[in-house]
Structure 1
Amino acid sequence: MLRVLTVELRKLNRSLAAALAVAAPGLIAVFTFFNVLRGKTPQPWDMWMIGCLGIWAFFMLPMSVTALTALVAQMEHSPRSWDHLRALPLRRWTLYAAKAVSVFLVVALMSVAVLVLSWAAVRLAVTLKPQLDPTGAFETRAYLETMGRIYLAAVLLIAVQLWLALRFSSFVPGLVVGIGGTFFAVVATSARIGVFLPWQMPINMLATDGWRMHTALGLGLGGGLLVLTLALWHLSRREVL
């Protein structure tokens, strides 16, 4: 398994995954930078950091996962290399498990990058306009914990998108589901039933209603692990269409 994962990570290093991992958090940082410069009075750190977490959980995370899973899957679909990989003296499930681990690692790095780049964007803006220096304490632990919950709540979303991307040789099914899921998550933000939508589970980690947060976290993590297990079992026994 470790050998297969090492090969998978080397493939990612030669792909556009690194560019995606920087671009998505970078866009949030750029938005934050100019948003700070537009300010007239100092704002609390919480306003900027929670705002960045919200943008990540609400829109950028689901869309990044959609793009990343399609990218990872197309590395094998495009050159039609699945037949070769399955002919190797390896258990089939390890091939898909390595894909899953690599995706989760990239998403974890992107999550950390959102916090780091957002902080850097605020500090850079403040050097240009010192009078806008944020008030209050920078609650590093609280922001990390919140991001951690967002990451765990996104496990179901990631598992579903990866399953679709690996199951079909065309990137269209995964792309349609990803865009559609994000769309309904946006329009159903305040809907009570929205907490059960995988694409809305990450943003519910910022909800003030404890029921929504705990329900989304439990379903996102528990359901995600279950779906991921089913995906590995299913993919290792079927051919790609």
Structure 2
Amino acid sequence: MSVYWRALRAEMLKLKHTLALWMVLILPLAVAALIVLVGSLHPSAPQRSTTPAAAWHGLETGMFSLWCLLMVPLFVTLETALLAGLEHGNQQWKHLLALPLPPSAHYLAKLLMMVLMVLGAYLLLCVLVLPAGWILMVTAPDHGLAGLPPLADLWPLPAASFAASMLIVALQTWIALRWQSFTLAVSVGIVATVVGFIVAQSRFGNFFPWTLPGRIFHHGGDMQLTLAVGLGGGVLVAVLGLVDFLRRESP
């Protein structure tokens, strides 16, 4: 187990002061800032029936709908390409594979690093719901936000969405590590994101990897099916990607 920890720690050290690490902070902040800006410029009409808890739930849904539908696919696409580029760009694979570590450690370390970065971005966006709501209390009081959100209700849907995103993470990591072209890896993710807008509300939405995280926040989707496809498919694709990596890199 220590060899896998060493490989993961090496990935952490390589990411210091890189754009990939900064994106974990920048993109959630951008989503929160955009929601606050739109909410401040376009306040809703007063609704006496709206409770503070419902207003907080609406804010969270709005932030995570934007995050999951647009930002998560692009975030994962960019991060996997940047993470793979650390080795592709400098032709470092031969050096890594010559180290006294099993080849699987390098693949799994990059995959786990991606999972941790996606988790970090989700957690940060959860935290940003609070300051976003407090700002809107001042700039747009008609939204009905007040006090603190029901914290126990703040995390279940984002946690399910994170689990559903594992299929995208596994797919994009495999693509980015399989081919050296940064352009190819990014193009696949961008095209798939655009296609996701078309199929998101169709019957294929529960099976298209790039729409799965957003389906959690829309009642039209089957949450159990979405989680099964996202999480189960992610594990399956991760295993297939590892097998392909070992087959190509074996002496």
The two structures have a TM-score, normalised by structure 1, of 0.92
Say which of 15, 34, 57 aligns to 2:18.
Answer: 15
Say which of 85, 92, 97 aligns to 2:108.
Answer: 97
Say which of 28, 32, 35 aligns to 1:25.
Answer: 28
CA distance in 1, matches of 2:143, 2:64: 20
Shift of 1:41: 4.6
Residue 122 of structure 1 corresponds to which residue in structure 2?
Answer: 133
Give structure 1 regions of 4+ aligned residues with deviation exceeding 3 angstroms: 40-43, 127-133
Per-residue CA shift, 1:18-71, capped at 9, x if unaligned? 211111101111111112312155671111111111111111011100000001
Per-residue CA shift, 1:55-95, capped at 9, x if unaligned? 11111011100000001000110011001001111100001
- The size of the alignment, in residue pairs, is 238
Structure 1 residue 218 corresponds to structure 2 residue 193: no
Mean CA deviation greater in 11-20 or 219-228: 11-20
CA distance in 2, matches of 1:59, 1:131: 27
> Is the 8 Å Cα contact of residues 28 and 118 (structure 1) preserved in structure 2?
no
- Mark the CA change 1:218 to 1:125 in structure 2 (over 3 Å): closer, same or farther: same
Shift of 1:119: 2.3
Look up the equivalent residue of 1:228 and give its one-letter code. Answer: A
> Is the 8 Å Cα contact of residues 137 and 143 (structure 2) preserved in structure 1?
yes
Residue 235 of structure 1 corresponds to which residue in structure 2?
Answer: 245
> Is the 8 Å Cα contact of residues 39 and 140 (structure 2) preserved in structure 1?
no
Say which of 125, 134, 151 aligns to 2:162.
Answer: 151
Residue 8 of structure 2 corresponds to which residue in structure 1?
Answer: 5
Say which of 185, 188, 201 aligns to 1:177.
Answer: 188
Could you list the runs of 5+ residues in structure 1 that have no partner in the other structure?
Answer: none
Shift of 1:16: 1.1
CA distance in 2, matches of 1:225, 1:58: 22
Q: Secondary structure at the match of 2:205?
A: helix
CA distance in 1, matches of 2:186, 2:20: 16
> Is the 8 Å Cα contact of residues 137 and 146 (structure 2) preserved in structure 1?
no
Please report the RMSD computed on the Cα atoms of aligned residues, expressed in angstroms.
1.8
Per-residue CA shift, 1:181-202, capped at 9, x if unaligned? 1111111222102211000111
> Is the 8 Å Cα contact of residues 8 and 109 (structure 2) preserved in structure 1?
yes
Mean CA deviation greater in 69-78 or 25-34: 25-34
Residue 87 of structure 2 corresponds to which residue in structure 1?
Answer: 76
> Is the 8 Å Cα contact of residues 126 and 132 (structure 1) preserved in structure 2?
yes
- Mark the CA change 1:196 to 1:131 in structure 2 (over 3 Å): closer, same or farther: closer
Equivalent residues in 2 for 1:48-87, closer than 5 Å: 48-87=59-98
Shift of 1:130: 5.3
Look up the equivalent residue of 1:189 and give its one-letter code. Answer: A
Could you list the runs of 5+ residues in structure 2 that have no partner in the other structure?
Answer: none
> Is the 8 Å Cα contact of residues 8 and 99 (structure 1) preserved in structure 2?
yes
Look up the equivalent residue of 2:243 and give its one-letter code. Answer: W
Residue 196 of structure 1 corresponds to which residue in structure 2?
Answer: 207
Shift of 1:139: 2.7
The two structures have a TM-score, normalised by structure 2, of 0.89
- Mark the CA change 1:223 to 1:132 in structure 2 (over 3 Å): closer, same or farther: closer
